[in-house]
């Protein structure tokens, strides 16, 4: 609260000091201050009363008007949840125009907290009599909200009833005429509905095809428009709405890029050299200690190429926090039967690496220090593979003694989505992306569903498949040849809000599914 008070004091100084020097407002003293509180608050709460007293003592002589609705604090609080915002703004216009002090003033200063900020802006745009001199807002939703805040108190019946009503239809006439936050709800992915049905925000933000020139003219009359955003705000989603910033669902996501070492060079080297088991253990520890991730109910995981089977290993071995959706692109879930040739004759790292591989894939040196060797799997060398493989034979549960934890953890996935690149020549065989077994000599393909690991369900893949939680998707292009459109579609479908995660995006066509 101390930080907020300091910010309020600073803003009150702005409100007072600029009055006498404004080129647009020949005021002769301190202007009245109008305060509009936020959601769940009321004019009679101690916090609002303290701010009013602070304004009066900071700038002696200030006439403070706390906006209120109804005959009591309870009715005023209820009005922050239930009511027609347009009607509320109209009522404020009439109230201020009839106030004996305010109506005779050359102007007013306006201070809005949370939703009160955009509501005071609406006053300035729509009526503005008397005109607003300085408008200061704290944590307001000028660009709307894209999610409704969860109720913190299990006994707060008003909040729970309100949220229950919201869930049944944000764009319904009931919500848009009677549920206050619904009237400034704005999800960038629902713009068509927003522009069509929004009762309040789409209008005051002048976003519809037909603009209201009065809104622009009135807002340009402001001496100052000051917007404060709370750095750690988790109530307003997205918090950047306080600055009119557009934030889509993907941008709101907390993204953690797995890295090893202190530099990009060290991180790249770790993709060639290192013990994969140790790397997975390090990732388990890193994610468990991340201040954001460790407090999350779960994570989504996106793995490119070998990163896909490594993230699967995380899900099987530690899974704290648990993986919700696992999406892999061109990964080697069934290993590789050949090492990729180096493309650049000057890439000494690649050539040195391949030279080491040639002298003994199953050696302890390769199986503890050369990354691709640890997911090498040639069907014609299964005996050596099962005996010496440091990584893949274990996480695929292919040895005689199975690890039940791997199956239990993988079955907790909401979705396991595997993409294969149709023209992939880097991963040999490319069908490894789908756990498909390919006989290099005969060229025979054995799909996952026809293999013992599926029939005996060593990893829980059969259960996932039977419950439509396993997806095999073929996309055009060479290895890791990804378009932005494909990534955006994947992010929307699999990495959006949990309640929508994995649901089909009606605005985009289906991926090509394995035939």
Is-catalytic flag, 479? Answer: yes
Provide the 3-class DSSP secondary structure of residue 437. Answer: strand
Task: Judge whether 471 and 416 are in contact, CB under 8 Å.
Answer: yes
Half-sphere exposure of 6 (CA within 13 A, CB side): 3
Q: Does an H or E element contain 470, and which?
A: strand 470-475
Of 76, 78, 394, 424, the active-site residue reads: 424
Q: Report the DSSP pairing between strands 437-438 and 299-304.
A: unpaired
Gap between the Cα atoms of 141 and 247, Å rounded: 12
CB 10 within 8 Å of CB 86? no
**Residue 57: exposed, middle, or buried by beta-carbon count in 10 A (0-12, 13-18, 19+)?**
exposed
Please check whether residue 128 is in contact with residue 151, taking contact to mean a CB–CB distance below 8 angstroms: no
Which of 37, 133, 142, 479 is labelled catalytic?
479
Phi then psi for residue 458, to 5 deg, are: -65, -30
Residue 424 annotated to the active site: yes
How far apart are alpha carbons 336 and 453 in whole angstroms? 17
Return the axis-axis angle of helices 264-272 and 348-358, rounded to nearest 10°: 20
Answer yes or no: 21 catalytic: no
Q: Residue 113 and residue 150: Cα distance in Å, rounded?
A: 19
CA distance linking residue 380 with residue 366, whole number of Å: 19
Q: Which of 140, 198, 305, 432 is catalytic?
A: 305
Question: Of 184, 188, 182, which is closest to residue 202 (Cα–Cα)?
Answer: 184
Helix (H, G, I), strand (E, B) or coil at 49: helix
Please give the positions annotated as active site. 305, 424, 479
């Amino acid at each position: 609260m101390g930080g907020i008070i300091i910010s309020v004091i600073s803003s009150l100084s702005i409100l007072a000091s600029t009055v006498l020097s404004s080129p647009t407002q020949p005021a002769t003293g301190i202007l009245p201050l109008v305060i509009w509180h936020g959601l769940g608050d009321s004019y009679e709460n101690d916090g609002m009363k303290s701010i009013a007293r602070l304004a009066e003592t900071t700038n002696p002589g200030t006439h403070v008007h706390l906006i209120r609705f109804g005959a009591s604090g309870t009715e005023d609080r209820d009005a922050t949840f239930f009511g027609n915002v347009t009607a509320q703004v109209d009522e404020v216009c009439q109230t201020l125009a009839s106030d004996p002090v305010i109506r005779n003033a050359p102007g007013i200063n306006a201070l809005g907290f949370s939703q009160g900020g955009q509501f005071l802006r609406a006053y300035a745009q729509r009526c503005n009599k008397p005109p607003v001199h300085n408008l200061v807002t704290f944590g307001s939703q000028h660009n709307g909200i894209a999610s409704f805040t969860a109720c913190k108190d299990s006994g707060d019946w008003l909040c729970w009833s309100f949220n229950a009503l919201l869930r049944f239809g944000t764009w319904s006439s009931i919500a848009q005429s009677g549920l206050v936050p619904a009237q400034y709800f704005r999800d960038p992915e629902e713009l068509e509905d927003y522009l069509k049905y929004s009762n309040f925000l789409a209008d005051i933000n002048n976003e519809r095809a037909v603009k209201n020139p009065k809104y622009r003219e009135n807002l340009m009359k402001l001496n100052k428009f000051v917007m404060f955003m709370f750095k750690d705000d988790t109530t307003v989603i997205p918090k950047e709405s306080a600055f009119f910033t557009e934030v889509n669902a993907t941008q709101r996501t907390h993204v953690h890029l797995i890295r090893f070492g202190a530099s990009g060079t060290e991180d790249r080297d770790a993709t060639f050299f290192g013990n994969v088991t140790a790397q997975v253990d390090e990732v388990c520890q890193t994610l468990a200690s991340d201040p954001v991730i460790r407090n999350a109910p779960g994570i989504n995981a996106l793995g490119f190429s070998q990163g896909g089977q490594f993230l699967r290993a995380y899900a099987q071995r530690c899974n704290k926090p648990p993986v919700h959706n696992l999406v892999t692109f061109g990964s080697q879930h069934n290993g590789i039967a050949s090492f990729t040739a180096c493309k650049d004759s000057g890439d000494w790292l690649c050539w040195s690496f391949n030279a080491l591989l040639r002298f003994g894939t199953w050696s302890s040196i390769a199986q503890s220090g050369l990354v691709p060797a640890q997911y090498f799997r040639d069907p014609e060398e299964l005996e050596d593979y099962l005996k010496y493989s440091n990584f893949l034979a274990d996480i695929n549960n292919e040895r005689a003694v199975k690890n039940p934890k791997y199956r239990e953890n993988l079955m907790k996935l909401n979705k396991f989505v595997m993409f294969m690149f149709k023209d992939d020549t880097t991963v040999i065989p490319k069908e490894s992306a789908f756990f498909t077994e390919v006989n290099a000599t005969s060229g025979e393909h054995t799909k996952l569903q026809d293999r013992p690991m599926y029939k005996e369900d060593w990893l829980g893949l059969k259960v996932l498949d039977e419950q439509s939680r396993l997806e095999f998707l073929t996309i055009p292009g060479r290895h890791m040849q990804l378009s932005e459109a494909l990534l955006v579609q994947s992010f929307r479908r699999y990495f959006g809000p949990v309640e929508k995660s994995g649901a089909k995006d009606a605005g985009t066509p289906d991926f090509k599914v394995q035939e």
